Amino acid sequence: MMSPPGQAAALAGTRLPGNQVPQGTGFPAPSNPEVPEQGAETAASSCSIPTLAPVTFRNARGGNNRAEYHPFPRATIKEICKAHRIYGRDGPYFRGLLKADLSAEEVVPADLKYLFSCLLNPTEYILWVTAWKRLLQEALPGLLNHVNTRVDAQGIPLTLDHLAGEGQWAEATDQVVIPVQCLHVVRETALTAFFSMQTQGPAISYSKIRQGQIYPYTPNQPYQTCFRLQLTEGLHLKDDNWNFVSVDNSEQGTWPRVKGKLIVVGDCKHTPKEIEILPGTFDNNPGKFVLWLRCTHPPTFLPKGQTVAQIIPTWEHLEEDNIPTACPVHNITEVKTPGGMEPLLGRDLMAQWGVTIDIPNPPQDFWAAVAEERPTHKLNWKTDAPVWVEQWPLSKQKLKALEELVEEQLAKGHIVETTSPWNSPVFVIRKPGKDKWRLLQDLRQINNVIEDMGSLQPGMPTPTMLPQNWKLAVIDIKDCFFHIPLHPDDAPRFAFSVPTVNREAPRKRYHWRVLPQGMKVSPIICQWYVASLLSPVRVAAEKAIIHHYMDDVLVCAPTDDVLSHALDLTINALVVAGFELQEDKVQRMPPWRYLGLEIGKRTIVPQKLEIKAKIQTLADVHQLCGALNWVRPWLGLTTEDLAPLFNLLKGGEELSSPRELTPEAKEALEKVQHLMSTRQAHRCDPDLPFKFIIMGKLPHLHGVIFQWRNNIKKDQGREDPLLIIEWVFLSHQRSKRMTRPQELVAELIRKARVRIRELAGCDFECIHIPIGLRSGQITKAMLEHLLQENEALQFALDSFTGQISIHRPAHKIFNQDAKFTLNLKDVRSRKPLEALTVFTDASGKSHKSVMTWKDPQTQQWEADVAEVEGSPQVAELAAVVRAFERFPEPFNLVTDSAYVAGVVSRADQAILQEVSNTALFELLSKLVKLVSHREQPFFVMHTRSHSDLPGFVAEGNRRADALAAPAAMAPLPSIFEQAKLSHQLHHQNAPGLVRRFHITREQAKAIVATCPSCNQNALPTLSAGVNPRGLNSCELWQTDVTHIPQFGRSKYVHVSVDTFSGAVFASAHAGEKTLDAIKHLIQAFSFMGIPKN
């Protein structure tokens, strides 16, 4: 800031003429010699006006005086900013104060920049500088034509950098050389640019705008439809430079057109994800729309008519009800230099600097900001090597359909042109019952290189947990996958090619910008994306229940007001994210259809299920059983009801193998149709506890999770106290060959407790277990005994704090079938009995099945021997069956087969699974029948065979083993003969024979001396003998390494020899270190077994 000397002197009380300006300078020099230079400085320093900073002059060469710069007073700037904040930019007081302060002195460009940077926010300041420089550029030719303003005080021609304070004149101290007349122009243009900006009145924060519950954000509300700008011609973007494009607003919005400005921003729904739009403003109804855009991830193609931006009108005076409460806009990011091109949107250009537009954080109660970042999920790849699967040829009809579908997806912005090195084939299929086609891509090879993601939602939410009589609404998201963006780094990997007939032209290549159908993690990303949008809605509408599964959303609330509020929040969150919602697809009235179910105010039934009674192939049976299996939890289709249909799945493995409904299967289908029309599930009552009951009959037990109303009010129409939440079934195929009823009951309880924790996060209040009592009531001791005897029940009822009841509620569903009862009495004794002891054994070589016992009266051993074909286990099982048939009285059973002992222990009331071995299945069936109908107790014991222990048990086991032996073995030779035979086979030396057979040294030497092999190979200085050999196979190995140069790098051949059988295993390796030896031995173990030494 500087002042002319004449003006400064007058203000100081000294007369100083200022009308003489030396030629070639812009500063007037003092003409009165009577006023000394020191007096002028003293007068200036005594000035009491705080808004002025006088200019002091010092003698300079050539007789001219030089002006010195003094900063603009901070108190003045503070006063101007305060007036601007209180009265606004167009307030008369602020305008007068600003003009008066700037006109009272000569202000250099640096002072102007500092002042207006205090008055404006960063964005407005950039716009002001742009407008100011444009006005200076227009005024510069006139200044250059005037003799007093064409050069500065140093004789340098005037430039735009002089006037704007840029370049080498950026420092304020260097700007004092600018002529005074030029400073007047700089000041006036700065004020003109400032007052021509759009804001009227005090600045208003957009974050203060709030959306009330009575203004739901839905597409059918006219005041929320914006004006959209579309490209007037196609645009191929090959780099990330800014481009100047022409657009039109043929897609008119429904917001009222008012006088004022139009704000231009990107459209979060239609603007392609990789396109950035430079924000700006338009005058109302301009003759031509132009804007700046660029591509962040080139290359890409924007077709003609592509929506790239939206314009939002501003209002000066509107009623509050007409103000839009939410404006979905494109994300505003850092703006980079567009290459120096000129004005943007007819007025301002934010293009020559890197600009970041900051939006302040909204208040805590403001749940949606104006600009929203769309989340993307980056995929994890096993390899970065491109995967290219060649496109196969298509027929003309399918090729035409493919081209039409590609053009449609290209117009919607779902795909873009690409030069990606990845490729997967595409094809089309006709939609069933329609003359339309569907575009599919074979992504199997791409899926192989994508890392799996953990499941976010392993199953569907069940509507039975929705409270009765609560209000519902169901939303169906249209084309959900096509509105979820792929990460820009992943998109080029989902490229495909559109072939041409006879390769008459280069094929066009595209890649997806949204989730492609067929990618294995697309459902998981879809769940994650939609869940991230609904998370703040769940927090804001905490009284409501929101079920989300893939593209189906259900909103449940206790009242209409809460439902309306939660539904509006949900729709707003989805629409702002770019999803398309059809108003006719939003279900508000019962019955609500959700995930294949029809939900009423109290009941739930499956939607109309078409049962295909015409069965011809295995594939038809699979489809039928799959559909029936899906509705079982709500209709209670038991395994017994569906068993004839499940049995049709057995047989040929080919899907085209023939199948035909049996009479039992037809009867099962009729029963299923009847149950589908009569049964239903219920929505829960949040005030009632959950219970569980076990029903059915062996072998197909099932259970029901239910609620029970004890106090029924008939005047309210609630005659049925039963609320069925879900049916629980066991698997049709059991994992064990023999399963006890206690284990089935335990599995049902365990499965039901896990399910109720998943559904409601709690445990049952009561579990109804059908325990049979001959007389009296069940006692605590009986239950403890039942738990002690069964480990499966212990785990199933672990940490259970509720009640256990043996009585069923009085309802026809619980009492219409044959009742299953769990018997507490166990015929198998846990302690040995004072009774007959029977020993069993069998031999696989002789096929003998033996049982033997000692008659208590005669004290003689008796035996029952029979020949049975099959394995030793089958033969010994046959002996056990004969023992149960022969001895109905109490007895003890001793067997050396752990398998047989386990089968006998589990045989009481056991359920058998069919096995392919007919003889084994018949024996097991007889055993189960004999044990289940037995009245006298028995005790079973397993003992180890061939033990030299003394006593009655070992003796009985030896007798049974001897009876099962194939034949009497020949007597062993003498010790000397054994030693001689051993030496002939293994060639031990004399000390080895002494240690092994305990013969004398003379006898051992005699054996070695008479051996011709040992005498021939013996060394004179060594005693006779050779390397020891094993007595059995895989007992002793010898290993060595042989070098074979002809094998090259793998010349080290490791050799292992079994010294008993002579079996040899060799493998070539690159060395003879420890690691190489370990590799060789591992291979040898897999081929010959593991040796003892």
pLDDT tens digits along 36-94: 333 333 333 333 333 333 334 444 444 445 566 777 777 888 888 888 888 777 778 88
Neighbours of 75 (CB within 10 A): 10
* Distance from C-alpha of 379 to C-alpha of 376, rounded to nearest angstrom: 10
Which helix (H) or strand (E) segment holds residue 401: the answer is helix 396-412
Per-residue pLDDT at 206 exceeds 80: no
pLDDT (tens digit, 9 = 90+) per residue, 768-825? 888 766 555 566 666 777 777 777 888 888 888 888 888 888 888 887 766 677 776 7
- CA dist 799 and 797 (Å) reads 6
Q: Is the bond into 122 cis (omega within 30 degrees of 0)? A: no
What is the C-alpha separation between 519 and 441, in angstroms, rounded?
Answer: 9
Q: Residue 419 has what pLDDT?
A: 92
Least confident of 395-399, 500-504, 730-734: 730-734
Give the model's pLDDT for residue 641.
80
Mean pLDDT of 368-389: 74
What's the chain's average pLDDT? Answer: 77
pLDDT at position 2 over 50: no
pLDDT-derived band at 226 (thresholds 50, 70, 90) equals: low
pLDDT for 517 equals 86
DSSP secondary structure of 959-993? HHHHHHSSSPPPPP--HHHHHHHHHHHH---HHHH
Q: Please check whether residue 418 is in contact with residue 492, taking contact to mean a CB–CB distance below 8 angstroms.
A: yes
Helix axes 74-87, 92-103, angle to 10 degrees: 160
- Average the pLDDT over 812-840 and give the result: 80
Tell me the per-residue pLDDT of 474-498, one tens digit each, with 9 for 90 and over: 998 888 888 888 998 999 999 999 9
What pLDDT band is residue 467 in, cutting at 50, 70 and 90? very high
Q: Which residue has the tokens 């048939």?
A: 885
Axis-axis angle for helices 92-103, 180-195 (nearest 10):
170
Top-ranked range on mean pLDDT: pick from 792-801, 948-957, 1061-1070: 1061-1070
| Local confidence band at 334 (pLDDT 50, 70, 90 cut-offs) | very low
List the structure tokens of 529: 């994306």
Paired with 729 in beta bridges are 702
* pLDDT value, residue 1025: 55
Give mean pLDDT, residues 669-683. 85
pLDDT digits (tens, 9 = 90+) for 108-166: 888 888 888 888 888 788 888 888 888 988 888 888 888 888 888 888 888 888 888 88
pLDDT digits (tens, 9 = 90+) for 1004-1014: 998 988 888 88
Q: Which residue has the higher pLDDT, 432 or 514?
A: 514
Q: Which range has the worst mean pLDDT, 102-111, 195-204, 571-580, 743-752? A: 195-204
- In sequence order, the 6+-apart residues with CB closer than 8 A to the CB of 1059 are 986, 1027, 1028, 1029, 1030, 1035, 1036, 1037, 1038
Q: Is residue 1066 over pLDDT 90?
A: yes
Across 11-26, b (16+ Cβ under 10 Å) vs e yields bbebebebeebeeebb
User: pLDDT per residue over 895-933, tens digit each?
Assistant: 888 888 888 888 887 878 777 788 888 888 888 888 888
Cα–Cα nearest to 828, from 757, 890, 900: 890
pLDDT of residue 556: 93
CA distance 108 to 179: 10
Report for 560-569, 582-591, 785-794: range of highest mean pLDDT: 560-569
pLDDT for residue 986 is more than 80: yes
CA–CA separation, 288 and 575 (whole Å): 30
Please report, to the nearest 10 degrees, the dihedral formed by the alpha carbons of residues 938, 939, 940, 945 taken in order: -120
- pLDDT per position as a tens digit, 745-763: 889 999 999 999 998 889 9
